[in-house]
Structure 1
Amino acid sequence: MAKTLTPEEAERHWARSKGLMWLTLAIWFFFSFVIHFFVDSLNGIVIFGFPLGWYMAAQGSLIVFVILCFWFAGAQNRIDEEFGVAED
C-alpha cells in the first residue's frame, strides 16, 4: 500500500523531484545544443582518429542521453524511496 504524504512531505518530494528534473534538462540542453555550437573548435581535438566535434555530434550526445535516462530513473527512485512512495 502506498504511503500518503502530508502536504509538507509532498512539497519536499516535489521540490526534490523538480530539482532533479531541471538538472536533467540542463544536462540534456548542454549536450543537445551547446556542444554542437562549438563543433568546429572541438574538431581540433582528435580521439581514436575521429575529430571530437564530429564524434560528439554523431555518437557522444546519444551515449550521454542513454546514460542520462538511466541516471534520472535511479535518482528519482532514490527520492521516492526516501519519501516512502517508491513503486515495488
Structure 2
Amino acid sequence: MSEHEHESAAGESNSRYWTANIRLLLTLMAIWFAVSFGAGILFRDWLDQFMLGGYPLGFWFAQQGSIYTFIALIFFYNWRIHKIEQSFNLDDDDEVAASMEGGAG
C-alpha cells in the first residue's frame, strides 16, 4: 500500500470515528433534553397525575429525574465510546496498563 493510500485510509477511518462519536453525543444530548425540558417543563402538568416516591412525577423529573438521567447517560457514553474506540483500534487501555506497570518498578 502506498503512503498516499495509507493516509487516505487513515483519514477515512478518522472521519468515520468522529461521525460515530458525534452521532452518539447528539443522541445522548437529545435524550437528556427530552427528559429535562420535556418531562420537567413541557409535560409536567400531565406527568403530575402520576406519583413517584410520594411526589408528582413531573415535579420529580424537574428536580431529580433529569440529574439521574444525566448521570446514567455519562456512564452509557463511557461504555459506548470505549466500544467505538475498540472498533476503530483506538483503544488505549493496553498502553495505559503498560505505562503503569513500567512506572511502578
Letter of the 2:84 counterpart: I
Alpha-carbon separation, structure 2, partners of 1:46 and 1:76: 35
The structure whose RCO (Cα within 8 Å, separation 6+) is larger is 1
1:48 Cα deviation after fit: 3.3
Q: Which position in structure 2 is the counterpart of 1:86?
A: 91
1:44 aligns with 2:49: yes
- The TM-score with structure 2 as length reference comes to 0.73
Alpha-carbon separation, structure 2, partners of 1:22 and 1:55: 25
Work out whether residues 49 and 56 of structure 2, in 8 Å CA contact, stay in contact via their aligned partners in 1.
Answer: yes
Alpha-carbon RMSD across the aligned residues, in angstroms, is 1.6
Letter of the 1:40 counterpart: D
Q: Which position in structure 2 is the counterpart of 1:9?
A: 13
Structure 1 stretches of 5 or more lacking a match? none
Aligned residues: 85
Q: Which runs of 4+ in 1 moved over 6 A?
A: none
Percent identity for Structure 1 against Structure 2: 32
Structure 2 stretches of 5 or more lacking a match? 1-6, 94-105
SS at match of 1:6: helix
